[in-house]
Structure 1
Amino acid sequence: MLEKEKETLAKRIAGEIVLSSDPGKTMRKWREIFGISQTELAEYLGVSSSVISDYEGGRRKSPGASTIRKFVEALLEIDERRGGNVIKAFSRTLGSDFPTSAILDIREFAIPVTVRDVVEAVKGEIVANADLVDRRIYGYTVVDSIQAILEMSADEFLKLYGWTTERALVFTKVTTGRSPMIAVRVQGLKPAMVVLHGVKNLDGLAVKIAEKERVPLVVSRAENEGELIARLRRLAGSVEERVIR
């Protein structure tokens, strides 16, 4: 299934690992994007969990081409056995950076950042679940909340998640924050954090939903959408520089 997408994704993963200044950390990022435990990956590869842990922790020398190939093949094969959700998510993004006009920007980080990093980037204030500031974030999606309401079906809402739900969903043109949080609640898939931009009067229900779902909720004080997106892109760019440095 999706052979072209698999090949493209495999090249993307392998390329990131080869070019990374910390290959082990990049391997961990991709393992976690695929939602595969160290134990499951080790069993597939026929090695001990400590081998995977040592690579990810930088305690083994950088993996060679053969190890990287086996690692990538394992991720894709395990994903296919589970229904190919990550491969399918990747295929939805091929050919367009913006699979729906409601998406203003969508990026995956070269290595994960934290909720704290995103909060700083968006000039944000955490209004729910401040104890989760160290949660790992693998990407972000900036959404025009009005366009999303007008044009997106329930199935299309899944496009907001890119390759992984472990990301920040950033909603613009927000008045109270109630509608975005209700949408997150009813969809079943939870993002790693939600950012609201343009809030005039934050709704208490939005905060309660975030607390119940254990999703960090952030209000951005960026001047406008342009500044918001520019600051997020700078964050993504700084992460890429650290990887290739």
Structure 2
Amino acid sequence: MELHEKIAGEITISENPGETIRKWREEFNVSQLDLSKYLGISPSVISDYESGRRKSPGVTSIRKIVYALIEIDRHRGGLILRRYNSGVPSDALLDLGDYNHDVSLERVIRLIKGTNCSVVGLNRYIRGYTIVDGIKGILSFSYSEYNKLYGWSSQRVIFFTEVKMGRSPMIAIRVHPLKPAAVVYIKPDRIDELAIKLAEIEDIPLISTEMEVKDISKAMATLR
């Protein structure tokens, strides 16, 4: 089912459509003001719908609200759409992007101010990236969800946040047949020797960076 159909259906059958509209508006990180501007209506109309002061909008209005949220996200780069279309749990996937050309891994590392913690060479290319919440993500993914981390190609960098020692992500990667081109830990507490050893066994560069997730997303987007 397309995302717009899922949202519209959820609003329509909800016992409290206004609350459901607010839930999805906040999920897309769209303010009442921005939504009202896109729809060409007063912000008070959106507020009244969400609070229940105004009768629930009809099907046509719901459709307009849903398409507005999706189009606003597209204009911002489509992060929320990529999360949902990837099939990975949305609270675990922080960003995902694919390239239609080779990108040097060395260039990526310069962009994110990364440090190679392994002895694996960096002379390789990527075709995409995935940023995952390390706690919510790979440790609880099903087998099929893990596959979806790779987008269109396994020739990609996988970034992990919330890394304590770095063992678990590398163990999960080791036991799965698909391997990324490189792994990056974002602001790790520390990187355990076992994590480094596993990376070297699998011939996967293990990188660390102190950049914020939002800055990494912006940097990776410039490579498209």
Common fold by TM > 0.5: yes
1:205 is aligned to 2:194: yes
Mapping of 1:89-108 within 5 angstroms? Answer: 96=85, 99-101=88-90, 102-108=92-98
How far residue 97 of structure 1 moved from its aligned partner, in angstroms, is 5.1
The question of whether the paired residues in 2 share the 8 Å contact of 1:126 and 1:218 is answered with yes
**Aligned AA for 1:113?**
V
Gap change, CA 1:118 and 1:111, over 3 Å in 2:
same
Q: Give TM-score scaled by structure 1 length.
A: 0.54
**Aligned AA for 1:120?**
R
Aligned length: 142
- Distance of 1:107 and 1:119 partners within structure 2: 16
- Distance of 1:164 and 1:213 partners within structure 2: 18
Secondary structure of the 1:182 match is helix
- Distance of 2:113 and 2:87 partners within structure 1: 24
- Unaligned 5+ segments in structure 1 are 1-92, 237-245
RMSD: 2.0
- Distance of 1:213 and 1:188 partners within structure 2: 11
Name which one, 1 or 2, has greater alpha-carbon Rg. Answer: 2
1:226 is aligned to 2:183: no
**Aligned AA for 1:155?**
S
Instruction: Tell me the equivalent position of 2:146.
Output: 157
Gap change, CA 1:234 and 1:98, over 3 Å in 2:
farther
Of Structure 1 and Structure 2, the greater helix share is in 1
How far residue 177 of structure 1 moved from its aligned partner, in angstroms, is 1.1
Q: Give TM-score scaled by structure 2 length.
A: 0.59
Instruction: Tell me the equivalent position of 1:121.
Output: 111
Mapping of 1:1-245 within 5 angstroms? Answer: 96=85, 99-101=88-90, 102-131=92-121, 133-149=122-138, 151-222=140-211, 224-236=212-224
**Aligned AA for 1:205?**
L
- Unaligned 5+ segments in structure 2 are 1-81
Instruction: Tell me the equivalent position of 1:47.
Output: none
Runs of 4+ in 1 over 3 A off after TM superposition: none
Structure with larger RCO (C-alpha < 8 A, sep 6+): 1
**Aligned AA for 2:117?**
V
How far residue 152 of structure 1 moved from its aligned partner, in angstroms, is 1.5
The question of whether the paired residues in 1 share the 8 Å contact of 2:83 and 2:93 is answered with no
Gap change, CA 1:122 and 1:206, over 3 Å in 2:
same
